[in-house]
Amino acid sequence: MRVIAMKLSKQQDRKAPIMASQDHILTLSCPDKAGIVHSVTGVLAKQGLTVLDLQQFSDPNLKKFFMRVHFGHADSTSQLQAPFGDLAKDLEMDYQIVPEAHKPRVMIMVSKIGHCLNDLLFRQKTGQLNIEIPLIVPNHPEFEGLAKSYGVAFHHLPVTKDTKTEQESRILELIKEQQIDLVVLARYMQIISPRLCSEMSGRIINIHHSFLPSFKGAKPYHQAYDRGVKIIGATAHFVTADLDEGPIIEQRVARVDHSMSPKELLDEGSNVETQVLAAAVKWWAEKRVFLNGHKTVVFN
């Protein structure tokens, strides 16, 4: 059993409005068995709470159960600690309860290609993404002006073969200092070390500019051009120590044809990349993404 307690940062606590009650999101996973939904909703009902939305999935191969429950209207979740603690023991259940309004703190890492970075900043600014972006960590200086225009801190950490270990240690320090919940690689063209992958397991999302598992590695649009493909795509996935092999969160495609140049494929693909990455970040922030071995369960 693993219980995840959500502790708001000082910045979030100061900004959070005082509310008599608010909606919460419950997420859980456990070995599959009969009666899980009845048991969970029964606990909520006994506390006078209302289920507003419920999504569930039973994996028949791994015999594992996943559920996301949107419930209201709780003055606090303290009254749920004891009954859910007992239920978690009985069901061997990992669970988490967070306020629906909670905004995860997201660090964006980028190199020299900025369309995904710009898109995420715009969506956050306009309220399309319920997240905070306290800092951007690039390995090149190109987007300092963009960061300033959005009022986001910019920590340029150049990476070379000789400085990679040192800079990744600094990245981990920033994650701790800024209480980062999620790292997004918005076309960050550096391989993440096994150490960083391990310490941030399930909390690093990458956008790969191809429809994985096709065309891994560098210049996938040129690879696609050489093969004469009729569709191109993008993949948002969790980062693991295996390059471009992490659990897939979202994929989308666009149709192309023989007349298009590598540049035209790249332009079309860039549009797909922004859509896919934004969707993955949104779903993660809304507690809709569950790791399930080498795959994910996504309630969207």
| Dihedrals phi, psi of 285, to nearest 5 degrees | -65, -30
Residue that is last in its domain, among 81, 99, 117: 99
Q: How far apart are CA 58 and CA 128, in angstroms?
A: 30
Encoded amino acid at 284, one letter? W
Task: Find the domain containing 194 and state its range.
Answer: 105-298
Residues 6 or more apart from 218 whose CB is under 8 A from it? none
Residues 215, 239 contacting (CB under 8 angstroms): no
Same domain, 138 and 50: no
Same domain, 113 and 248: yes
CA 18 to chain centre: 27
Same domain, 239 and 113: yes
- The CATH number assigned to the domain holding 282 equals 3.40.50.170
Residue that is last in its domain, among 60, 77, 99: 99
Q: pTM here?
A: 0.89
Number of neighbouring beta carbons within 10 Å of residue 68: 21
Same domain, 165 and 272: yes
Residues 210, 216 contacting (CB under 8 angstroms): yes
Q: Which helix (H) or strand (E) holds 237?
A: strand 231-238
Pair of tokens at residue 229: 């493909």
Residues 186, 117 contacting (CB under 8 angstroms): yes
Q: How far apart are the first and last CA of the chain?
A: 26
Q: How far apart are CA 152 and CA 155, in angstroms?
A: 10
pLDDT in tens, the chain (300 residues): 444 444 344 444 434 443 446 999 999 999 999 999 999 999 999 999 999 999 999 999 999 999 999 999 888 888 898 999 999 999 999 999 999 999 999 999 999 999 999 999 999 999 999 999 999 999 999 999 999 999 999 999 999 999 999 999 999 999 999 999 999 999 999 999 999 999 999 999 999 987 755 666 667 777 777 888 888 889 999 999 998 889 999 999 999 988 888 888 889 999 999 999 999 999 999 999 999 999 999 999
Same domain, 46 and 165: no
Expressed in percent and rounded to 5, the helix, strand and coil fractions of the chain are: 35, 30, 40
Residues 6 or more apart from 277 whose CB is under 8 A from it? 116, 119, 120, 184, 186, 205, 207, 234, 236
With H, G, I as helix, E, B as strand and everything else as coil, classify residue 80: helix
Same domain, 118 and 95: no
- The CATH number assigned to the domain holding 81 equals 3.30.70.260
Instruction: Report CA-CA distances (Å) from 118 to 100, 144, 216.
Output: 26, 12, 24
Same domain, 182 and 38: no
Residue that is last in its domain, among 99, 129, 148: 99
* Closest residue by Cα to residue 193 from 167, 218, 214: 167
Same domain, 131 and 246: yes
**Number of structural domains the chain divides into:** 2
Active site residues: 244
Same domain, 25 and 136: no
Q: How far apart are CA 51 and CA 156, in angstroms?
A: 45
Same domain, 47 and 163: no
Same domain, 192 and 267: yes
Same domain, 76 and 10: yes
